[in-house]
Amino acid sequence: MDFTQNKRIAQVNEQSLIIGVDVAKHKHVARAIDDRGRDLVKRLVFTNSYQGFLALIEWAKNLSEQHDRPNLLIGMEPTGHYWLNLA
């Protein structure tokens, strides 16, 4: 394990809210987990559009406040070209 990977791992702590996004053509799915990998809430399905992205941001902000986790990490695996709009 190199130093860069250790720095990435160290970013995840008790203050972290981790959101993973499953990217698709028309609708994306986001899950929110804590630093131990536990689901914090039911998943969010949002459209691949500006309105959908705003819904994701609002959802993430609300969860961050509700669970007192100010450090927000959002990740996705690039699938084809469908991830570009969200990125």
Domain assignment present for residue 47? The answer is yes
Domain assignment present for residue 67? The answer is yes
DSSP for 6-29, please give it. HHHHHT-STTEEEEEEE--SSEEE
Domain assignment present for residue 58? The answer is yes
For CA atoms 69, 71, 11, 44, give the dihedral sign.
positive
- Residue range of the domain that includes 69: 15-76
Task: List, for residues 50-80, the tens digit of each pLDDT value.
Answer: 999 999 999 999 999 999 999 999 999 887 8
pLDDT of residue 3: 67
User: Under a CB-based contact definition with an 8 Å cutoff, are residues 27 and 81 in contact?
Assistant: no
Domain assignment present for residue 83? The answer is no
Q: Is the pTM of this model over 0.75?
A: yes
